[in-house]
Amino acid sequence: MPLKIYNTLTRKKEEFVPLTPNKVNMYVCGITPYDECHLGHARAAVVFDVVYRYLNYLGFGVTYIRNFTDVDDKIIKKANDTGVTCQTVSEKYIQSYTEQMTRLGVQTPTCEPKATEHIQEMIFHIQKLIDRGMAYVSGADVFYEVRKFSSYGKLSQKKIDELESGARIEVDERKKDPLDFALWKSAKPGEPEWESPWGKGRPGWHIECSAMSSKYLGDQFDIHGGGRDLSFPHHENEIAQSEGATGKDPFARYWIHNGFVNINSEKMSKSLGNFLSVKKILEEWDPEVVRYFLLSANYGSPIDYTPEAMSNAQEALTRFYEALNRLEKTETGEDVLPEFSLQEILEIPLNDDFNTTQVIGKIFEYVRELNRFLDQGKYPSESSLNEFKASLQKVTNVLGFFGQDPQVFLDIQKTKALQSSTISEEEIQRLIIERREARKSKNFKRSDEIRDQLAAQGIVLKDSPDGTTSWEVKK
């Protein structure tokens, strides 16, 4: 049963066949580091992290490149506004991005090249485009001549003439056509600059991805990913640059685009000012909850960020860990656990265009079976328990969640919830002991009083058959 991927280029789900058997080359557009990354950036990173992990699970040798575009208008602006160098700005946010992604369980790609470290490759690429007549020099600037690339618009399904009539493109005297875009920008005061055959200047946006992808993955490779908002113009221009320079088509065989994270049904973005940084969100929510949330809908659809959705994710994870905790605590015996089929739970759903939502659904179906098993007073055999754990571990390795020690997860949630409560853990313990005595002497009036009192403060008690009482925080 083959892996199928929805290819933006063809707008169809296609069977995935790599260029070289057993090997996958994948390039994903990373960030422009000029500010704290927000949930939208995290979604892209997490989505492609799962793609990467799953391809590895399937046994492919994956070379995964995710770049940093560390030369850009916004970085320059930030640097000038704050009186530091561009490098200071980009390094600061690259570091922060790396930290947040690590917390979210995002694995480090094979290589994370920086644009500024590939200026020579870009210059070489631009020269190639000029030599092939796809680009022209205008003063000390170099532009890509869009009309020379006949299939321009094939990814975003736009037609050049329709784009022209869009009339939102500013007129630039130096361009032959308003749609032409800059490959090389001449030096201006207060901007970083490099030597080039066309004079001092800096690369335009887009060319870094063409140059770096070909350097690390070759002129043609398997998967190219990024957020949906990059499909035009960024990816369209990348295609034009790469195919225009090599004459090889297609540049990337499968294009995968992840959907946005919305807030109030609107795209979360810097320009709209409605973004929430990952840093901020992680102050409030467990990284696993965030990751679960990001993967709980299919990667291509938009997801709406709301506190309710986050708490929903947390509740779901709690349900999962409660069941797992019961299993951990139970004694072993002779009964065989319900079958946990990796094929059914993981592979069939993920082979269908990385359907993580369905994997989660299957996991919860299993949770019910597991609880049923334990409710029936059965004791799992050592071997079936080990088998289950090994399989679950594989799911965890691909999804990047469901892998914590259940007791640890539950305790962390409790501690966190307690922070915003008025009652202390000691006080709860004291009341539990008092209630135990009351219950022993069948003073149910007092015991119920204590429970109600705690309940009023959001603490819910759970009496177990052996006489002990545990508690949890309910919002």
| Binding-site member from 25, 214, 220, 298 for RNA (CB under 7 A) | 298
Of 140-148, 212-220, 408-416, 454-462: span binding RNA (CB under 7 A): 454-462
In angstroms, give the least distance from the CB of 352 to RNA.
6
Q: In the window 192-231, what residues touch RNA (CB under 7 A)?
A: 205, 226-231
Nearer to RNA, 11 or 247 (CB): 11
* Separation of alpha carbons 241 and 230, rounded Å: 15
Nearer to RNA, 22 or 264 (CB): 264
Nearer to RNA, 23 or 229 (CB): 229
Q: Helix, strand, or coil here: 453?
A: helix
Residue 361 one-letter amino acid: G
In angstroms, give the least distance from the CB of 299 to RNA.
8
Question: What is the full DSSP assignment across 66-80?
Answer: E-B---SHHHHHHHH
Nearer to RNA, 68 or 198 (CB): 68
Nearer to RNA, 195 or 425 (CB): 425
* Separation of alpha carbons 213 and 235, rounded Å: 12
Is residue 461 a contact point for RNA (CB under 7 A)?
yes
* Separation of alpha carbons 394 and 54, rounded Å: 10
* Separation of alpha carbons 137 and 103, rounded Å: 45
Q: In the window 322-341, what residues touch RNA (CB under 7 A)?
A: 322-323
Q: Which two tokens stand for residue 327?
A: 């299993």
Strands 201-203 and 12-15: unpaired
Is residue 444 a contact point for RNA (CB under 7 A)?
yes
Nearer to RNA, 111 or 461 (CB): 461
- For 247, other C-beta atoms within 10 Å of its C-beta total 9
Look up tokens 């050049």; give the residue: 160
Contact pattern for RNA over residues 390 through 429, marking x by CB under 7 A: ----------------------------------------
* Separation of alpha carbons 36 and 94, rounded Å: 9
* Separation of alpha carbons 182 and 191, rounded Å: 16
Q: In the window 53-112, what residues touch RNA (CB under 7 A)?
A: 69, 72-74
| Helices vs strands, H then E, count in the chain | 17, 15
* Separation of alpha carbons 370 and 317, rounded Å: 15
Contact pattern for RNA over residues 234 through 273, marking x by CB under 7 A: x-----------------------xxxxx--xxxxxxx--
Nearer to RNA, 192 or 300 (CB): 300
In this structure, are residues 232 and 8 in contact, taking their beta carbons and an 8 Å threshold?
no
Number of residues binding to RNA, judged by CB under 7 A: 88
Contact pattern for RNA over residues 340 through 379, marking x by CB under 7 A: ------------xx-x-xx-xxx-xx-xx--xx-xx----
| Binding-site member from 43, 118, 175, 291 for RNA (CB under 7 A) | 43
Is residue 31 a contact point for RNA (CB under 7 A)?
yes
